[in-house]
Structure 1
Amino acid sequence: MIEFSKQLKKYRTEGGITQDDLAGKLYVTRQAISKWESGESTPDLNNLVKLSDIFNVSLDSLVLGIDNKSKVDSDEFVLDPVSNQYVRRYGKMNFWDFISKNSWVIIVLASLLFWASMMLH
């Protein structure tokens, strides 16, 4: 959570929010904010969600320091928390995976085969 402590302080100072102000918004003590920023402790999930809402940033950006300005297709990719990188959601896709996710291909191929068979007769 080293990135989190840096990110929290960065977003708080960029927003011109004091530790006291932030503590008031989260109903925690100023000392709790100070400990979060120094890396001595970390907030619970509820406070992480509230912080991302207060700063209007994603949890990835707040906790991991990942810049989400580049759009990632969340249908195809997911963040691997171990490597801190985006990986394919379904691993490497083979032909059958592709067909199961894109059933329209079967319809198009069947239509083309039907049309071709009609042209031959």
Structure 2
Amino acid sequence: MSFSDNLKLIRQERNISQEKLAEIVGVSRQAVSKWEQGSGYPEMEKLLILSKELNVSLDYLMLSEIRSSENNKPLSNNLILPTGKITIKSYDGKSIVNCYKVLASSVMYKARNDEPKYWLIGINSGALWGEKSTVLGWYADEENIKKEMDKIADAINKGIPVYELKYAVKVKNKMLRVKIDED
């Protein structure tokens, strides 16, 4: 999806008219219409206002493939959900992360049959020098991580403050590798 598609989809999901969005951003309704038709882009200042007022990251607005709910599209290497805060307990129960961003990605190594192929990462701003990332969960296949992302996105959009992982697999560390725990 393009910026124009993303903007239109987000605006409609939030039940905001083009007129209202134009008023919020400080432009004409025709400018918003032009952006949604793909025949122009807002200035950086306006993009920042859009990001803030729609409660989404700039990545979410600008990336070409962001919607995990479109099951017919492949999962991009890094899928970014809308900004907002949600608290998620990690797969091992050792961390509770107040996430403002959640990323789904394939693992960085060639996974074997008994290893998870995807991981979910929660990002918060709790670190002294910037963002801190925590592995929230491990996933055996793309279908389950897409389902998880859909559920998290839905929870964020509904303003639900806490989410419990539903599709993550149990894992165990073995010889510096993460293995799916079949027990």
| Unpaired runs of at least 5, structure 2 | 67-78, 81-101, 104-120, 124-130, 134-183
Output the aligned Cα RMSD: 2.1
* Matched residue, 1:44: 43
Helix, strand or coil for the counterpart of 2:62? helix
Higher strand share: 2
TM-score normalized by the length of structure 2: 0.37
> How far apart, in 2, do the equivalents of 1:75 and 1:36 lie?
34
Q: Which has the higher contact order (CA 8 A, sep 6+)?
A: 1
> How far apart, in 1, do the equivalents of 2:25 and 2:57 lie?
17
* Matched residue, 1:35: 34
* Matched residue, 2:94: none
- Dislocated runs of 4+, deviation >2 Å: 71-76
Helix, strand or coil for the counterpart of 1:42? coil
| Unpaired runs of at least 5, structure 1 | 77-121
TM-score normalized by the length of structure 1: 0.55
Indicate the larger mover: 64-73 or 46-55. 64-73
Amino acid at match of 1:58: S
> How far apart, in 1, do the equivalents of 2:58 and 2:122 lie?
15
Task: Give a deviation string over 1:21-61, Cα, whole Å, max 9, x none.
Answer: 00001110000000000001100000111101111111001
Higher helix share: 1
Where does 1:1-121 land on structure 2 (aligned, <5 Å)? 3-65=2-64, 66=66, 67-68=79-80, 69-70=102-103, 71=121
Aligned length: 75
